[in-house]
Structure 1
Amino acid sequence: MTGNETILQYLTNVPAWYLATSVNDQPHVRPFSFAAEQDGKIWFVTATTKDVWEELQQNQKFEASSWWPGHGWLILRGKAGLEDKANADMRYAGYAHLCSLGESYDGPDDPTLVFFSVEEPEAWICNHEEWKPIEL
């Protein structure tokens, strides 16, 4: 199993995971629930109308964490790649996912939807005894 596959397991086998940004020395944490792989990178979706997008434009560094019961938790650090290169399949999957959460968009090509990649990733699987690095 590749490092990206391991990360995706931890992010997609739980109802929500948490993404943290930091702007002006103030952390901001919110739930996320969409993650996918394209071109060997992990990608997330948000909307240009959300604070998280503005925060990532000010400071691209983020950290994500997911607890998968019975498996430990994931810590994923990286920089947001802000150039949206999502293909049609990912755009549809992200759009459908956000709509299933009650959000409303004008289809997968709605310019409000934006996908960002995980650049310079570092990741660990953790339990109460150790942090085990994921080879990426």
Structure 2
Amino acid sequence: MNQQDLKKQVLKIISNHRAGVLSTVENNKPHSRYMTFYNEDLTLFTPTQADAEKIDEIEKNRSVSVLVGYEGKGIGDTYVEISGTSIMNDSEHLKKQFWDESFKKWFDGPEDPNLVFLQIQPETIRILNNNGEPPQELNL
């Protein structure tokens, strides 16, 4: 598969699967949790609370890993593995752009100062379990 087709497939997977696993580093060990992801041309954003444990972890070590796309239907599900770095982004624009009513469980609204986003800049993106093919890496 050429790089352009690979990028289209990656974008399709991350656009069609909001839920995924975010792994940060805590005491030199992986710390994983399910998150909701949004994307803008391969840069991922996930909402969180400004005082969340993952913010402290990222301030100490910006390296993160994200898995998106696996649906649990079986061994053949195609998914994306993203390795990169993350920063906290408290942009009012992002808060309004990605606000979802389901966030009301944790936040008062898009103006809530405790609402922030983790911005994940990919360094490596791989597609796995793609119709029995070996992992394919998107050149960034």
Bucket of the pairwise TM-score, normalised by the shorter protein: 0.7 to 0.9
Count of residues in Structure 1 that have an aligned counterpart in Structure 2:
131
1:129 CA displacement: 4.2
Q: Which residue of 1 aligns with 2:134?
A: 130
AA at the equivalent of 2:32: V
- With the length of structure 2 as denominator, give the TM-score of the two structures: 0.74
Please say if 1:80 is aligned against 2:81.
no
**2:32 pairs with one of 29, 33, 53:** 29
Partners of 1:101 and 1:111 in 2: how far apart? 13
Change over 3 Å in CA distance of 1:68–1:120 after alignment to 2: closer
**Any conservation in 2 of the 1:46–1:115 contact (CA below 8 Å)?**
yes
Partners of 2:6 and 2:119 in 1: how far apart? 15
Which structure 2 residue ranges, 5 or more long, are not aligned? none
Tell me the C-alpha RMSD between the 2 structures.
2.8
**Any conservation in 1 of the 2:18–2:37 contact (CA below 8 Å)?**
no
Query: Between the two proteins, what is the percent identity of the paired residues?
Result: 22
Partners of 2:126 and 2:78 in 1: how far apart? 10
SS of 1:91's equivalent in the other structure is: helix
Partners of 1:112 and 1:87 in 2: how far apart? 12
1:131 CA displacement: 0.9
SS of 1:62's equivalent in the other structure is: strand
Partners of 2:5 and 2:43 in 1: how far apart? 11
SS of 1:108's equivalent in the other structure is: coil
- With the length of structure 1 as denominator, give the TM-score of the two structures: 0.76
Mapping of residues 1-136 of structure 1, within 5 Å: 6-14=9-17, 16-37=19-40, 41-69=43-71, 72-82=78-88, 84=89, 86=91, 88=93, 90-96=94-100, 99-100=101-102, 103-127=105-129, 129-136=133-140
